[in-house]
Chains A and B, each alone.
Chain A
Amino acid sequence: KAGVTQTPRYLIKTRGQQVTLSCSPISGHRSVSWYQQTPGQGLQFLFEYFSETQRNKGNFPGRFSGRQFSNSRSEMNVSTLELGDSALYLCASSLVRTSNTGELFFGEGSRLTVL
């Protein structure tokens, strides 16, 4: 079974631009979560989607948005990029939202550099 796939793996943008990152969960998984990882702040929760609905949201500005499609694939978008948005963006999927195992399966991440 294929794992969580994130595209693109690396990208460079300039301030003010926008970016869209894509995540394909493990087949059959309906929940997708997004995390931002930086050396200074560590791993911070962005949002969680389940059955095309945002179920939970972290403390990020409105420039960060996301969506989930009927096939459970998810995208996140960051508009008006700032230097501080440079980070590794991780996507994780799980079978069901309230799984008592709480186990998330992570992708390898999309590394965004903002110049």
Chain B
Amino acid sequence: AQTVTQSQPEMSVQEAETVTLSCTYDTSESDYYLFWYKQPPSRQMILVIRQEAYKQQNATENRFSVNFQKAAKSFSLKISDSQLGDAAMYFCAYRTPTEKLVFGKGTKLTVNP
């Protein structure tokens, strides 16, 4: 069974600094997709960034980038120039093309002014 592990229940970062959230996953599949979702307090979950497993190049979306290590089954999220609006729960998720989305337990990110 596929599992997703986020080992950091909580993280904090100073505004304008950089923070990295960790995620590891377990799968025997070769073709899959990885995602980071953000859930602000009392607001709906939104997609931050996604990575196709067959792509070696790490995905980047503005201040958000990932470090995808397929052999190590690691998928970390780096947030650069952190902003107060980045404060949220961040969920790492895994999905095969025809399967359900499996989420990690989440990391609560606090951004200090």
Q: Which residues of A contact B (CB under 8 A)?
A: 3-4, 33, 35, 42-45, 48, 56, 58, 90, 92, 97-98, 100-104, 106-109
A35 to B103, CA, bound (A): 10
Give the size of the chain B interface in residues (CB under 8 angstroms).
21
B78 CB-CB contact with A under 8 Å: no
Q: Among A4, A98, A102, A109, which residue has its beta carbon within 8 angstroms of that of B101?
A: A102
Besides A43-B106, A56-B100, 9 more A-B contacts (Cβ < 8 Å) are A3-B44, A33-B101, A56-B99, A98-B98, A102-B95, A103-B50, A106-B45, A108-B43, A108-B44
Residue of A nearest to B96 (CB): A102
B100 x A45 contact (CB < 8 A): yes
Contact status of A42 and B45, CB under 8 A, knowing A100-B33, A102-B35, A102-B95: no
A42 to B43, CA, bound (A): 16
Q: Which residues, 43 to 97 on B, are CB-close (under 8 Å) to A?
A: 43-47, 50, 52, 91, 95, 97
Residue of A nearest to B52 (CB): A100
